[in-house]
Structure 1
Amino acid sequence: MKIAVTYENGQVFQHFGHSEQFKVYEVENNAVIGQEVVSAEGGGHGALSGLLSKLHVDTLICGGIGAGARNALAQAGIRLYRGASGGADEAVQSLLNGTLRYDSDAHCGHHHEEGHGCGHHCGEDKHGCSGS
């Protein structure tokens, strides 16, 4: 199993679409056996879900995330735990222990605000980001 966490300075980064790094954990028998920090190689919701798929990630822990990104992750078969916060290592251990605190309703609502700075126009499909 591979678990990725949106990552910044040891913490769960709070905006999936702007993630610059992921910390990826290799898990066997419910224990972390390896981990590495991976550059997001650019940005955008579709590109990020594509990167995670290429890394063979099964599960993502993140903060806020928009509907387009959620859809792209679902299409890639990646299980999502959104609305998490705090330390990345602690979040993974909590997931493995069955005690991860996350908000299944957490989402990125910036697409409904003018000037959200996402790099595209709302409603424009950009590699899995439907603008919603």
Structure 2
Amino acid sequence: MKIAVTYENGEVFQHFGHSEQFKLYEADNGAVTHAEVVDTNGSGHGALAGFLKAHGVDVLICGGIGGGAKNALAQAGIQLFGGVQGDADQAVQNFLAGRLQFNPDVACSHHGSHHEGDHQCGGHDHNCGGSCHS
């Protein structure tokens, strides 16, 4: 699995469309096996979903994100966990451990049945209540 986090100075960057860097994590069996920071080279809003897809990203963890970007990510088959704040590495560790705190209104509104059983959307730690599996 490949996870991308909007990234700035070690933290989850809070505006997806203005992200200048992503930290990409490769994970296997619940552990990070590789991580690297990549520059977006000036790609903005709509182009960022294609940028992530080209890098083989399965999951995006970010702060704020607009509706157009959410739709582009959904079309690219990238699961979204938005509304996340704080340390980027810790966010990925929390995601892998099933305890990521995220905003279900941001994260789940465009994903319906795209959720797989290997992530936290059905959990109770973030008040999603499983509504994103409808």
Question: Who is 1:18 aligned against?
Answer: 18
Alignment root-mean-square deviation, CA: 1.1
* Structure 1 position 82 matched with structure 2 position 90: no
Return the offset for 1:43: 2.7
Contact 2:6 2:16 in 1 (8 A): yes
Q: Deviations over 1:19-44 (max 9, x none)?
A: 00000000011110000000012132
Question: Who is 2:111 aligned against?
Answer: none
Q: Identity of counterpart residues, as a percentage?
A: 64
Question: Who is 1:32 aligned against?
Answer: 32
Q: Deviations over 1:69-96 (max 9, x none)?
A: 0000000000000000000000000000
Structure 2, gaps ≥5 residues long: 108-134
* 2:104 aligned counterpart, secondary structure: coil
CA distance in 2, matches of 1:57, 1:35: 12
Instruction: Indicate the structure (1 or 2) with the bigger Cα radius of gyration.
Output: 1
Tell me which amino acid in the other structure corresponds to 2:92: V
Query: TM-score scaled by structure 1?
Result: 0.79
Question: Who is 1:9 aligned against?
Answer: 9
Question: Who is 1:94 aligned against?
Answer: 94
CA distance in 1, matches of 2:95, 2:18: 23
Contact 1:82 1:103 in 2 (8 A): yes
Tell me which amino acid in the other structure corresponds to 2:52: L
The structure in which a higher percent of residues are helix is 2
Contact 2:12 2:63 in 1 (8 A): yes
CA distance in 1, matches of 2:71, 2:42: 20
Contact 2:11 2:88 in 1 (8 A): yes
* 2:33 aligned counterpart, secondary structure: strand
Query: TM-score scaled by structure 2?
Result: 0.78
Question: Who is 2:47 aligned against?
Answer: 47
Question: Who is 1:110 aligned against?
Answer: none
Return the offset for 1:103: 0.8
* 1:33 aligned counterpart, secondary structure: strand
Question: Who is 1:122 aligned against?
Answer: none
Return the offset for 1:57: 0.2
